[in-house]
Amino acid sequence: MSCVEATPARSRNAAATRAAILKAACGRFSREGYDGASLRDLASDAGVDPALICRYFGSKEDLFAEALKNCASPPDLFGGDPKSFPERVAQMLVVEPKPEGKLEHLLMVLRSAASTKAAEIIRRNNRETFYGPLEEWLGAPDAAVRARAVAGIIMGFAVARAIDDDAMLQDGERQQLCRKVADLLRTAIG
């Protein structure tokens, strides 16, 4: 009774609660990985009782799978102008200040891949929502090989940045690296 409500009272709306949990899950999983993100912290982010998570999603693994489907993907990554694809992606991977939002899906994969529980879910999801669309978008001959090459580069520079967290290059060097990554992507596609 005397307990103060910190959150502005989301009045018993199941859909909104589910959405809040899912959003918090995307954030936590992409920042801390599957093992590092506890259901309790996650629930606290969403302003929700931990027990509710299991009620709504069944288990942590199920929640992870759901979050993987619903979280932010790099918008229009494979969509926009194919001509500017290398520059766009290189820009996002190397120079963009806070790419975590756009890279949520990718970071979630990279930071959770070590976990046995999450690995299989990730593999399945990767084929359906990463390699699949990428191959289709690349089309032409050797789609599988070129898709793997592009994916390797994207993951590599994403993980490099996730590990080092920006603290290494000066601005000029960053621009150089960006051009080089664009070159690499062109090589991979071509």
Footprint of DNA on this chain (CB under 7 A)?
3, 10-14, 16-17, 37-41, 48-55, 58-61
> Which residue type does 46 have?
A
Of the pair 51, 168, the CB lying nearest DNA is at: 51
* Site for its own copies contains 162 (CB under 8 A): yes
CA-to-CA separations, 127 to 33, 136, 151, 158, in angstroms, rounded: 20, 12, 12, 19
Give the CA angle between residues 130, 111, 64 to the nearest 5°: 70
Decide which of its own copies, DNA, none touches 59; Cβ closer than 5 to 8 Å per partner kind.
DNA
CB-based contacts of 132-141 (< 8 A; 24+ apart in sequence): 133/78, 134/78, 137/78, 137/79, 137/82, 138/189
Residue in 46, 71, 92, 181 binding its own copies, rule: CB under 8 A: 181
Footprint of its own copies on 8-67 (CB under 8 A): 32-33, 35-36
Distance CA 107, CA 81 (A): 24
Residue 116 CB partners (closer than 8 Å, separation 6+): none
Number of residues that bind its own copies (CB under 8 A): 49
**72 interface partner picked from DNA, its own copies, none, CB below 5 to 8 A per type:** none
Q: Among the candidate windows 1-9, 11-19, 40-48, 157-165, which touches its own copies by CB under 8 A?
A: 157-165
Give CA–CA dist 159/150, Å, rounded: 14
Closest approach of Cβ 127 to DNA, in Å? 24
Tell whether residue 180 is a contact of its own copies (CB under 8 A). yes
Evaluate whether 68 touches 127 at the Cβ level (below 8 Å). no
- The entry of its own copies, DNA, none near residue 84 (CB within 5 to 8 angstroms by kind) is none
Please report, as ranges, the residues that interact with its own copies according to CB under 8 A: 32-33, 35-36, 109-116, 119, 122-123, 126-127, 131, 142, 144-146, 148-149, 151-157, 159-160, 162-165, 167-169, 173, 176-177, 180-181, 183-184, 187-188
